[in-house]
Structure 1
Amino acid sequence: MTVPSIGLGTYRLKGQVLTDSVHNALDLGYRAFDTAQIYDNEADLGAALASGNVPRGELFLTTKVWISNFHHDDLLASLRESLHKLRTDHVDLALIHWPSPNNEVPIREYLGALAEAKAQGLTRAIGISNFTIDLARQAIDILGADAIATNQIEVHPYLQNRALIAYLREQGIHVTAFMSLAYGAVLNDPVIQAIAEKHQATTAQVALAWALQQGYAVIPSSTRRENLAGNLQAAALRLDDEDMAKIATLDRGERVANPEIAPAWD
């Protein structure tokens, strides 16, 4: 299964703000939408999509299972509840949002339950998120690399995650990049700004194009129609080798998403 290259992330979006963002995104041509149980907006997203007049078959929905639902029966029940909120009988991709902190729930239990959810038709594909090299290796041992549609990880010019991505590529596992703009920090970077001026593009488009050209999927979030449109147009921007080399020098291991539940990073 192919993960769409560009989708709309919905982290921190709720209510009418989310509805307006989703309706604008649909109108502009977005068909992939990323949410999670912990975002507390699955019902809002489901309602927005239901009122958006785009057939379910044209949409690609991703949700992520939260750590409190990792025991076998809880995971399946929580995913069914997510489907109810999203007003659908399946999602296209279900991810483990974070690995279980301190292995409180054994990885074999929650990945096995996720595989069972796929077998039951609750999701078309399954994957992982925020998994390190060691955890990805364990996931491969349990599921097989072919069963893992993606590892959704933080990737942007300030955190290029090279070791992990190299391992995922060796295993044939796709990368979905989140926090592609590092909460907007990269938009003011002089190197990114110079490249944007060179191509008559926005700095957001440069950061997204950098990720897309490396084969990553991106799921930027925005509430403004012009930004939604601009992000979508990043796929048409081609950075040259000099541009890519300059952005490569920006890596400084600056991680934005690093909660207490995070694993020991590579």
Structure 2
Amino acid sequence: MRKWKKLGIGMAMIAVCIAGNGIYYGIENYKGQQFETARTKNETGKQGSITQVTEQNATEVVTSERNTTEDAMAKVLEERRKNPLLLLVNKDHALPADYEVSLATLNDGHQVAEVIYDDLMDMLSAAKEAGCSVVVASAYRTEDRQEQLLKQEIRKNMWNGMNEEEAEADALLTVAPYGYSEHETGYTVDLVDVNNQMLDDTQETTTANIWLRRNCWKYGFVMRYPKGKEDITGYSYESWHFRYVGKEAAKEMTVEHVTLEEYLNALAQRK
């Protein structure tokens, strides 16, 4: 898997300023947003009198505080890696054998994980208010359903003249084997425009899809298989395939233009 080198999430720099009233340091991300700050003062004698901190003492204080803060950040990142909403399921990572999900049923009969239901409904309502009519083409799938879809795609390819090996290889570019599909998590939905319900490249030109790609992050979703990232995700570009990762991760992934694989890689490198 390609290691992404550019991501700024979680990467930090230490800013140190020694002033007359003490030492101020901060751990900031690459955009200067402050994660944590601390102010240390050496005060002795009468009120208002301040002992100047030597350069050596300043270094010791900053190093100690920096190590403490970095340890705290490592714990935060470790917890985020364990976040079930960031569960990685792709051709190299199967759905855990003991995976279970509580499902909620949409008005059209499709099912999704309960945890994404409210945000999905909010997103579809917002799209409607913006003049877009979005249809849920697919959502949660059982293993049996996923296997059936892959076999159908293979048969279609063979009908179009491919041999069995070619047909399977081509099918796996767009359809995951059962046990390796995000649809089995309940966190994924295929969303299309009511006026064009084809799952193909024409979907990205529809009003609904343009709105979804611009706004889905506000509701905790990301377009899971973006253009130009096929060698990372293992799948062809799918403008209709949206994965729920939670609002915080969705915002960070969208700002940085990274896939779930790249995002998790960056978190792991900060451990």
Q: TM-score, normalised by structure 1?
A: 0.25
Which structure's residues are more often helix, by fraction?
1
